[in-house]
Amino acid sequence: MEDTLIIESKESNISGELVIVIPGSKNAVLPMLASSVLISNEVVLRNVPFLDDVKNMVLILESLGAKISWERHVLKVNCSNIKDLELSRDFVSKLRASFLVFGPLIVRKGKATIVKPGGCSIGLRKIDIHLDGLRLFGISIEENNVIKGFLKESSPINFYLRFPSVGATEHLLSVASSIKGVSKLENAAIEPEVIDFVNFLKCAGADIKQNNRTFVIKGQDKLSLVDYTIMADRIVAATWIIASIIKKRSLKLYNINPEVLDSFLLVLCECGVDVTLEKDSIHIKLVRELKPFSIKTGPFPAFPSDIQPFMAVLACTIAGESTIEENVFENRFEYVGELRKMGANISLSKNKLVIRGPCNLKGAAVQGTDLRGTAALALASLIADDKTILKGMDVINRGYEDFPFLLKTFGAEVKKMRGEDEYH
């Protein structure tokens, strides 16, 4: 039974600047947990967000025999007694990042079996780049209803990724760190979460050098004890920045390096948003009138695909014509039809959106599908007249902590429903 939120925008009786501390990054911690299979003693991860995706990765590791303790935002993982070589269908089907365990498990134990991973339905997101790279390492792959991998004799690789896939880059980096010899990955992803993952591997003893999109990895016999603090979640930060702008509230975000949001913050500045940056904080000041924008998503350092749904909501508040071109995920616009139900003036042609604002959004019954599209619909509800009934909220718990509470912080009245039951 899926969760539903009933959201009604209210004028907040709280004035002054909002302050939010940004939690750790989901997309950074997941590959770290997956690669902990390669580390025979304890891994300590700090600033870990309490999210469904992280919980599922923990369950996957525990099903393999890992010992894990989780207290507040500190996660301790010990994979010294990994026994099972088959990743459970129940967990893998819920989490795309589960596939990142496949390669490390093969390197550690010589073989592994996994079903094809799940996750958000924002596009094909094939795993063929992962598999092509793994085969070059000497891993034999069999694909039927499940994927089986066997390692007989390993060798380093020189591999050019035909697309800078984040998941494939992380997967191959982790495997290369434990395969003897010098491997090279070219045209690799360089998203901040990838760099954070590289820093984690280095803390564990990996020898990795980077030159733009090229990584050179000298494989080690052993990766060892690591204690690492995860970067802040830049997508969560962007979510609440957009909320502050559309609700015309000043906002101070802490625990966030502004450099990881360069392309996003540049667009906001060009729109007329008053942005002040410090070493570990972002300050958004009250704005009156903004100019329309045009963005094209792409691999980092281009504009992030994960943030574009929020920009569509922002465009609904701006007079004029804004455009969004999506170049990463072919199904990223699934939220558009639901936003139209709320009164958004949006036209979609292939991979390009045109939003003509301002739009007088009204509450409606809408269905969330993927994580960021659902968050965008929740943002739209903050500026809609009347109540919005947002179904499919289960997905929000995959990427956001205390999401209803933060909606309330921005002046919304929020009620939760599961099936026929309503609760606060």
- The 3-state DSSP class for residue 201 equals helix
Determine phi and psi for 258, rounding to 5 degrees.
-60, -25
User: Which burial class, exposed, middle or buried, applies to 118 when counting CB atoms under 10 A from its CB (0-12, 13-18, 19+)?
Assistant: middle
Position 89 scores a pLDDT of 76
Given a contact cutoff of 8 angstroms between Cβ atoms, the answer to whether 100 and 174 are in contact is yes
Question: What are the strands, taking DSSP E only, across 88-160?
Answer: 111-114, 139-143, 147-151, 158-160
- Report how far residue 246's alpha carbon sits from residue 225's, in angstroms, rounded to the nearest whole number: 45
Angle between helices 26-35 and 52-64 (to 10 degrees): 0
3-state secondary structure of 94: coil
Q: Distance (Å, rounded) from C-alpha 405 to C-alpha 175?
A: 40
Q: CB burial class (10 A; 0-12, 13-18, 19+) of residue 211?
A: exposed
Neighbours of 180 (CB within 10 A): 12
**Given 120, 271, 316, 359, which residue is catalytic?**
120
Helix axes 128-136, 166-176, angle to 10 degrees: 20
CA distances from 80 to 61, 86, 342, 397 (A): 11, 17, 52, 30
Q: Are 236 and 213 in contact (CB under 8 A)?
A: no
Q: Report domain extents, the chain.
A: 3-23+232-423, 26-229
Sign of torsion over alpha carbons 334, 336, 341, 347: negative
> How does strand 182-186 pair with strand 207-211?
unpaired
Q: Which pTM was predicted? A: 0.94
Strand, helix or coil for residue 89: helix
Secondary structure of residue 79 in the 3-state scheme: coil
Instruction: Name the fold adopted by 26-229.
Output: UDP-n-acetylglucosamine1-carboxyvinyl-transferase; Chain (3.65.10)
Alpha helices in 204-261 (DSSP H): 234-246
What class is the 3-23+232-423 domain?
Answer: alpha beta
* CA pair distance 295, 318, nearest whole angstrom: 15
Same topology, domains 3-23+232-423 and 26-229? Answer is yes
Is 120 part of the annotated catalytic residue set? Answer: yes
In angstroms, the CA 367 to CA 395 distance is 11
Number of residues that this document lists for the chain: 424
Of the candidates 228, 217, 155, the residue with the CA atom closest to the CA atom of residue 188? 217
Beta-bridge partners for 67: 78
**421 vs 143: CA distance, rounded Å:** 43
Number of C-beta neighbours around residue 289 at 10 A: 9
Our CA dihedral for 87, 93, 124, 122, rounded to 10 degrees, sits at -140
| pLDDT on residue 120 | 46
Phi-psi region of 411 (alpha: psi -120 to 50; beta: other; left: phi over 0): left
CA distances from 363 to 10, 141, 163, 378, 388 (A): 13, 50, 40, 11, 4
pLDDT (tens digit, 0 to 9) for every residue of the chain, 424 residues total?
578 999 999 876 667 899 999 999 999 999 999 999 999 899 999 999 999 999 999 999 999 999 999 998 999 999 999 987 788 777 777 788 899 999 999 999 999 998 876 544 444 447 899 999 999 999 999 988 889 999 989 999 999 999 999 999 999 999 999 999 999 999 999 999 999 999 999 999 999 999 999 999 999 989 998 899 999 999 999 999 999 999 999 999 999 999 999 999 999 999 999 999 999 999 999 777 999 999 999 999 999 999 999 999 999 999 999 999 999 988 899 999 999 999 999 999 999 999 999 999 999 999 998 999 999 999 999 999 999 999 988 899 999 999 999 999 999 999 988 765 554 4
